[in-house]
Amino acid sequence: MHDIRFIRENPAAFDSGLKKRNLAPLSAEILEIDKRRRAAITEAESIQARRKQLSQQIGIAKRKGDNADAAMAEVAALDETLKRSEALAAELDAELTRRLEVLPNLPFDDVPDGTDETGNVEIRRHGSQRNFPFAPKDHVALGEANGEMDFASAARISGARFVFMKGRLARLERAIAQFMLDLHTSEEGGYTEVSPPLLVRDNAAYGVGQLPRFAEDMFHTDNGFWLVPTAELPLTNLANDTVLDEKVLPLRYTAFTPCFRSEAGAAGKDTRGMIRMHQFPKVELVSITTPEQSAAEHERMTARAEQVLKRLEIPYRTIILCGGDMGPASRKTFDIEVWLPGQGRYREISSCSNCGDYQARRMNARYRPKEGKGTRFVHTLNGSGLAVGRTLIAILENYQNEDGSVTIPEALRSYMGGHATIPGPAR
């Protein structure tokens, strides 16, 4: 949610931020609604003051035995005017909220301009792409060859964009998640593990910006709950309607959960394999911090996500998203893209975003500074640390062998009972 005071004081900066989002300037329209709203509030307050004055006069007149009919008639007339002014103020307040709540966050100044992913800028690469002495297969071919990645059964039972993971691949998925959690909750990682609810109410989805704009991207239950599209939703909402002491910040949370997305508008995109699923496992990272700490916390979070791929020795690159490709709640986003030799391209495996106070205003998440009076809104950040299914894909494709077997990365072998390989299909 945007701060109307910022728009009043910085209309040009607000429009400039919208331009970076490839949106038309809106400050004039928004400020006109705000002007009328404030005028209606001022009128209502003036009427209330006049009513109070008249009420006092009526009381005095009645005690003296004087006629108060004129004053009483004026009060009656003012009551009707007050109702209209209050109704207008409420209507304009609701209109202002409707306009502001669907607008995306304003990008930071160092976010590149651009309309889509072609405007994103690579900032670093790590690791070397493996030179295969054979034509590398994609994860579908590798997983289906031994029956442990079963799309056919999932389609029969649940439909498209679902998969059964069986046997060693199911264990590998669990091992990847455990490895990530251990890394993030270590002393170096500094995140607190949380097992959150997977069903949330409207206010929680609204708080992180999923509602009202992205209702169609989520699954909704018949009794009013939303299935979480990412653990960012419950973890960030741990601060909703809360005033924290600055001394406890930053708060850092991590969670391993299934995530649920309808993939509305994704028809025809990544229909083969596990890249884009309705249900997928992910380890999420969330930070709640002060405005002064958020930029450094953003770099730290991204580095922690990158550390997973470094330990697994899988090549990746990190890019900064342009204004036209960022999620609506973000002010700045780093995407980490992993190399998939089966596709011959880099694919997103993590997106780490600094949302500033955009979500905090929607959630009323504040902190009390060590020095000074009053409260301030926190800054919230979130990122994948990492998407477990896509990490499994990256392992299969980068560590595959010509006979269809897959070498298990050294960092995961203790989680896989000491095994060094996943055998290929029986011949």
The model's pLDDT over 18-45, given as tens digits with 9 standing for 90+, comes to: 999 999 999 999 999 999 999 999 999 9
Residue 268 is predicted with a pLDDT of 67
Question: pTM score, two decimals?
Answer: 0.93
pLDDT in tens, 294-340: 999 999 999 999 999 999 999 999 999 999 999 999 999 999 999 99
pLDDT in tens, 224-276: 999 999 999 999 999 999 999 999 999 999 999 999 999 866 666 777 899 99
Judgement on whether residues 263 and 381 belong to the same structural domain of the protein: yes
Residue of 287, 297, 390, 397 marked active site: 390
**For range 78-92, the mean pLDDT:** 93
Judgement on whether residues 76 and 192 belong to the same structural domain of the protein: no
Judgement on whether residues 125 and 72 belong to the same structural domain of the protein: no
Q: Which pLDDT band, with edges at 50, 70 and 90, does 200 fall under? A: very high
Judgement on whether residues 403 and 289 belong to the same structural domain of the protein: yes
68 pLDDT more than 80: no
Whether residue 108 is contained in a domain is answered as: no
- Domain boundary, last residue among 71, 101, 131: 101
Residue of 174, 276, 347, 368 marked active site: 276
Whether residue 112 is contained in a domain is answered as: no
Q: How confident is the prediction for the chain on average, in pLDDT?
A: 95
Q: Is 351 a catalytic residue?
A: yes
Judgement on whether residues 29 and 152 belong to the same structural domain of the protein: no
390 neighbors 364 (Cβ within 8 angstroms): no
Nearest to 169 by CA among 135, 153, 145, 152: 145
Residue 265 is predicted with a pLDDT of 63
Q: Is 390 a catalytic residue?
A: yes
Q: Using CA atoms, how far apart are residues 394 and 388, in angstroms rounded to an integer?
A: 10
Judgement on whether residues 45 and 138 belong to the same structural domain of the protein: no
Q: Using CA atoms, how far apart are residues 199 and 204, in angstroms rounded to an integer?
A: 10
DSSP-based three-state secondary structure for 371:
coil
Sequence-separated (6 or more) residues with CB below 8 Å from residue 155: 162
Nearest to 283 by CA among 207, 166, 385, 417: 385
130 pLDDT more than 70: yes
Judgement on whether residues 176 and 295 belong to the same structural domain of the protein: yes
Residue 269 is predicted with a pLDDT of 73
**CATH code for position 89:** 1.10.287.40
Q: Hey, which bits of 41-165 come out as E strands?
A: 121-126, 149-150, 164-165
**CATH code for position 221:** 3.30.930.10
Whether residue 31 is contained in a domain is answered as: yes
Q: pLDDT higher for 136 or 266?
A: 136
Residue 345 is predicted with a pLDDT of 96
Residue of 174, 348, 405, 413 marked active site: 348
Whether residue 169 is contained in a domain is answered as: yes
Judgement on whether residues 305 and 337 belong to the same structural domain of the protein: yes
Residue of 27, 330, 351, 353 marked active site: 351
Residue of 21, 161, 252, 261 marked active site: 261
Judgement on whether residues 19 and 57 belong to the same structural domain of the protein: yes
Sequence-separated (6 or more) residues with CB below 8 Å from residue 222: none
Judgement on whether residues 258 and 125 belong to the same structural domain of the protein: yes
Whether residue 371 is contained in a domain is answered as: yes
Judgement on whether residues 207 and 307 belong to the same structural domain of the protein: yes
Judgement on whether residues 136 and 90 belong to the same structural domain of the protein: no
Number of structural domains (the chain) is 2
Residue 266 is predicted with a pLDDT of 64
Whether residue 109 is contained in a domain is answered as: no
* Range(s) of the domain holding residue 37: 4-101
